[in-house]
Structure 1
Amino acid sequence: MASGFFAILDDIGALMDDIAVTSKLATKKTAGILGDDLAVNAEKATGFLSSREIPVLWAITKGSFINKLIILPVIFLLKWLYEPAINYILILGGIYLAYEGVEKIIEYIFHRGKKGHEVVQESVLQEDDENSEKSKISSAIKTDFILSLEIVIIALGTVIEKQHPLIEQIIAVSIVAFIATVGVYGIVALIVRMDDAGFFLMKKSGNKGFFSGLGQFLVKALPIVIKILGVVGTIALILVSGGIFHHHIEYIHHIVPTNIPEQIPQFGLGIVFGLAAVLVMTIGKKIYKFVIPAKK
């Protein structure tokens, strides 16, 4: 009886070893998209009043966990029932990401000519507006959903390649999804609180010495980091969407040249699909505005 108990423990240990190895492989495969995920979500979680940064980030983090709880069972169910549906969902998500990225570029081009005080005034009004904050959180959670979907699919593809049993697939992919949320939003939290860390160092060092200089550097660096994240996050949105179209639309995958870095056609694809999505949405909004008053 004791030998049977130890045999069970041995099996559990072997299973955990397999899961650890599989999770490591899946995490390596998703490293690229995790980097894009970090850039996008860091950009999404900045630009709020200092007192609202952590509550907003926590709200997005909770939304990200809920996204994973929805995605994981649905993906495994679709894999069993109708696997091509996963591809279609991912492509729709890519269109959404491309739309967001291109819309940001269009917004910048057409609003960069505004006077400084007008931009500052608008920014303050938006930050004070509770509905605007909720809208930004909702947008961040939607974007996280698409990025989480791609992370889960890439991780699942890795464990399927290795032909692991279903239980190992489920646990390994769940671990990768958990690491994605905790890792990404943990780093984002550190970024958005850089200035607080800087002020703390300055206060503790009495504004003297190395730590005071480090604190001043962190405080001055935060606005620059936020601007960089805005650019990098937008580029990441377009690249991720372009990567989805490149790898998951068979026709595009075959016509894209293979003798150039894949980021170039992926960026182009993201821009093209994004412009098409913006055009469709703009026409749709105009038709909606035209039809609704007519009903009244």
Structure 2
Amino acid sequence: MRLRGRLATTTAGLVVSLAMAAGLSGCMTVHGEEAVVPAATQDEAEAALEHYVDVNNEAKRDYDAEQNDEIEAGPLGAIDEAGLTARAAEQPNGDPDFEPLELTDTQFHIPQQAGWPKFFVADTKPRGYQNRWLMVFTRNSIDEDWRVSYLATLPAERVPEFAQDDDGYLEDIPLGGRAGSDLAVAPDEVGAAYADYLQGGEGRFSEGRFTTEVLDEREEANSSPAYQVQFQDAPAEEEDYAPVAMRTGDGGALVFFTMHHDERQTLAPGQHFNLNAQVEALLEGTPTQSLTLHRLAVETATVAEGDGPVDILSEVAGLITAEGE
């Protein structure tokens, strides 16, 4: 029987009223391919989030990757699919200690957009968690269900203020063209800039957990004579992993983007790998000399206007596959 998660919502300052939606109906196409229209109504956004909670509480409890595909897509879907598959191999009867997800104090940030894909953001607080969640719901056509592609976990004080257009809707930043040209880094180039930073240590990125600390950890990883570690980073180029960007109140942007982080471990003679169950579940080949870990990461960053910094706020990462040689 379906577990029904509880969902409490509050209206945001950019509520999509039914009256406004009706007022726009005379100038919109049926499927929204051409007209600039709200990506969703308030009711649709609330229903999508409630559906997410319901299915999430079944899929995560049972470690059911196929069911999780109903509510997640893009990079977050790929991360959780691999994670659930690995956990199911270790615990085929599901999670005996599972606690249902409950969301409170939810605000929706909905842009006006033309064409597809479309998105909206749910800013919410999971009960029992300290951080807030920013959940990016996306869909590629009117026939698709809303699914979550990006997730950021942030302390409340680090959630940026979102800019609104003249009608009170979230101001999104379309990719390509001149959109975002006033920013320190264009939204669709943040991933490449971050990869360059991780490989060379140079760029516009602020010091912090996902920048300078990562470089320090990688240097320390190669301090042991027992093995050598090589790191490779690249922005995801898959269409389903396209960045999502929106304007913040200070004139900058909040950008969700996807990275591939690969790690190749090569052992010194006489050494052996000690693998955990989740790595073994995703492993191809036998790691006698080397092990390559392929990780996917959902990154969230603020990008300043002009010549300011890029600040990585959140990372949600997971092992996707592993290869042994």
Considering fraction of residues, name the structure with more strand.
2
Considering fraction of residues, name the structure with more helix.
1
Q: Structure 2 length normalisation: TM-score?
A: 0.23
Larger radius of gyration: 1
